[in-house]
Amino acid sequence: MLLSPHPSIKMLASVTDVEEALMALDAGVDIVDLKNPAAGALGALDYSIIEAIVKSIDARTTVSATIGDLPMDPALILAASKTMLATGVDVVKIGFFGNNFHQACLNALAPLAEGGAKLIGVMFADQCPDMQLLAPIAQAGFYGVMLDTAYKNGSHLLEHMNCQQLNAFVVKARAFGLEVGLAGSIQLSHIKELSSIEPSYLGFRGALCEHSNRTSRLDVVKMQAIKKMLE
């Protein structure tokens, strides 16, 4: 299972290989998220790497994976999601970029969700996210929704949406029965403010890395510090 009904805020850590995945597992991370930060906001890892990570984690914690920064083409999104699910990950994260063809993609993905696949729709705070999309995401049977940033240019989540707006997002998502996560270059200094909104989980990459560079290696000390703060 991915998340309990948020008795505490969970920690998602994005990793790029088996070594980083095991570091995250040892640090007590709740969700080990498989992503290639060098390939965009939701860059996908090679399937062989994903399968190796799934095997190494061996069901000891939840594993999620992104399908890549793909255009909103229903056939393409569906095929990528099916292939990702076949690797054995627990959860598949799908980016809803821009403002077009979202409903068509949801219609294509609904049978996967109805069949038991755990899907998370990722919306982007720096692309004027449409709150009206939450209802269709829930109606399509998605497990959850997440707010992230599409452009990794040094800006962070709170530069694009304030706490009041983020709180409205979390409350509305929960009203539709969705688990809800927040990410987007979140730093240690943001955790207290974002925790007050009580999302299901917070997602991290750059804040966990050496030199705070999202494409560098994970730093286990930073990972442990954030995990402890969330606890």
pLDDT at 6 over 70: no
pLDDT at 15 over 50: yes
Selected residue with higher pLDDT from 205 and 4 = 205
**pLDDT tens digits, residue range 76-124?**
999 999 999 999 999 999 999 998 999 999 999 999 999 999 999 999 9
Catalytic residue among 10, 93, 118, 227: 93
**pLDDT tens digits, residue range 156-179?**
999 999 999 999 999 999 999 999
Residue 88 CB neighbour total at 10 angstroms: 15
Selected residue with higher pLDDT from 177 and 231 = 177
Mean pLDDT within 14-41: 96
Catalytic status, residue 35: yes
Q: Is the pTM of this model over 0.85?
A: yes
Q: What's the pLDDT at 5?
A: 40
Structure tokens at 217: 């290696």
Catalytic residue among 10, 35, 118, 227: 35
- CATH number for the domain whose boundaries are 10-230: 3.20.20.70
Q: What's the pLDDT at 4?
A: 40
Return the HEC string of the chain.
CCCCCCCCCEEEEEECCHHHHHHHHHCCCCEEEECCHHHCCCCCCCHHHHHHHHHHHCCCCEEEEECCCCCCCHHHHHHHHHHHHCCCCCEEEEECCCCCCHHHHHHHHHHHHHCCCEEEEEEEHHHCCCHHHHHHHHHCCCCEEEEECCCCCCCCHHHCCCHHHHHHHHHHHHHCCCEEEECCCCCHHHHHHHHCCCCCEEEECHHHEHHHCCCCCECHHHHHHHHHHHC
Domain positions in the chain? 10-230
